[in-house]
Structure 1
């Protein structure tokens, strides 16, 4: 199996005009800690509508899953004057293909959020979002690289610990992809997300962002309780990620409300 070549020029498009309750925000200390996982481990997680978007890695077919922590800053309406919120968040996402549209997208196992505003996505829209308390301790050097990136999450659903650093010597890892750009498109540019709502129905929402500009980093410590509990990545293997990326800040638009789909 040869992974196809992906080009940003085929995926980038102008920002759709926000309306209604669409929101915009900046994601600070945006990290992608990605693991290569045996596809069979997702057998009871990913619905039949979706196909795992796999690569060949270390002699076997592997699915990729990312843990994505960041701090939402300037989270506000994209349309109207509105208060701005700041909150820690981590998304747990698997890269898939929607077999109805052939779009490359992500399947959200769930999200942790450090904000009272959790009541809206969790209870009004039935998203698989869970309460958490976050602590970020991040220090960057003059060139913006992270001398230290530490994050701790206290959560009944998905407690987490993370310690990363960055240097100019950190190398890109994209084994299984034909080139660096294909890896970057795959990992950083899915614009549609799907998930099981808390009531069991299939939900989706879309985002928009320009080309992201993360750089490689090194993992020194990781402990993601959710991945171990779901038998996706053991605590030992969590110390051996497929790749690690960090971007200091970027801008997203989120199109709301989420939709309910037929399975």
Structure 2
């Protein structure tokens, strides 16, 4: 993989318009696992190539579970109308062969709000209703979490995870030649692609500033979706690559999502 950098283009925010959304995310974590590339490819549209790293002499794909709380999900031009809900995204990392961009490929999203019906039915997004609970305590003096637990139930992707937080920024990411390349790939994909609920290829884009993450670790975790897709073995511990945590960050989501025409099927 070529070295990646936080370029001006990646960090430049396009002003929201229309029905674009601004939201402040809390309890944001990126829990990344090493998975078998052959199994991961089965979930990916052929337009994309997996981003792979070598760890212990073996090639791996990277799959992340990303839980957070939308504190004030709001349309940029109707800022007084707000929603708060828990959310968990499931994604892996790939390169768009048509543009050369590094992107996030989404398996889907769990969302703890009735508002999930809007993207699910109008835009055919692979978003699913769930009950999600966060039990998190952030120590402002220590600048780290002393408690971080999340549980998702009654959903297509039941999950539970408990994390610990060092409060220290990452100094390296296994399998990457340099830290910045790893952070760009794992924390800063601007475009997301997915299979819509009607089977068509879909996409949307987001913006956020460079994340200021700390290094965490998994105390315990169960992600049923990874087992269902064959990306993790039932009853076995996850092959965790890294845990990156941030107490709060602002996101802009450019809407609506759109169908993507591709010559590859």
TM-score range, shorter chain: over 0.9
- 8 A Cα contact 1:170 1:218, kept in partner: no
Q: Summarize the alignment of residues 129-208 of structure 1 with structure 2, pairs less than 5 Å apart.
A: 129-141=127-139, 142-168=141-167, 172-208=171-207
The TM-score, its normalising length taken from structure 1, stands at 0.95
Alignment of 1:204-243 (within 5 A): 204-243=203-242
Q: CA deviation at 1:144?
A: 2.1
Q: Structure 1 regions of 5+ residues with no counterpart?
A: none
Question: 2: CA distance between counterparts of 1:54 and 1:237?
Answer: 22
Aligned match of 2:29: 31
Partner of 1:75: 73
Maintained 8 Å contact 1:74/1:86: yes
Structure 2: gaps (5+ residues)? none
Cα distance, 1:147 vs. partner? 1.0
Shift of 1:13: 3.4
Preserved contact between residue 219 and residue 239 of structure 1 (Cα < 8 Å): no
Alignment RMSD (CA, Å): 1.6
SS in 2 for 1:16: coil
Q: Which residue of 2 aligns with 1:254?
A: 253
In structure 2, distance between residues paired with 1:188 and 1:64? 12
Q: CA deviation at 1:100?
A: 0.6
Structure 1 counterpart of 2:85, from 73, 84, 87: 87
Render the CA deviation track for 1:232-255: whole Å, top value 9, x for unaligned.
Answer: 012455444110111000000000
Deviation at 1:44, TM superposition (A): 2.1
Q: SS of the counterpart of 2:180?
A: helix
Q: Partner of 2:7: helix, strand, or coil?
A: helix
Alignment: residue pair count: 261
Distance 1:158 1:20 in 2: 32
- Indicate conservation of the 8 Å contact 1:188/1:212, yes or no: yes
Contact kept in structure 2, 1:69 and 1:89, CA below 8 Å? yes
Do the aligned residues in 2 keep the contact of 1:95 with 1:106 (CA within 8 Å)? yes
Distance 1:249 1:60, change over 3 A: same
> Does the Cα contact within 8 Å between 1:138 and 1:149 map onto a contact in 2?
yes
Q: Distance in 1 between matches of 2:238 and 2:105?
A: 23
Q: 1:97 to 1:10 in 2, by over 3 A?
A: farther
* In structure 2, distance between residues paired with 1:136 and 1:13: 29
SS of the aligned residue for 1:12 comes to helix
What CA deviation, in whole Å up to 9, does each residue of 1:22-72 have, x standing for no partner? Answer: 000011000010011111002321011000011111211111010000000
1:163 deviates by 0.3
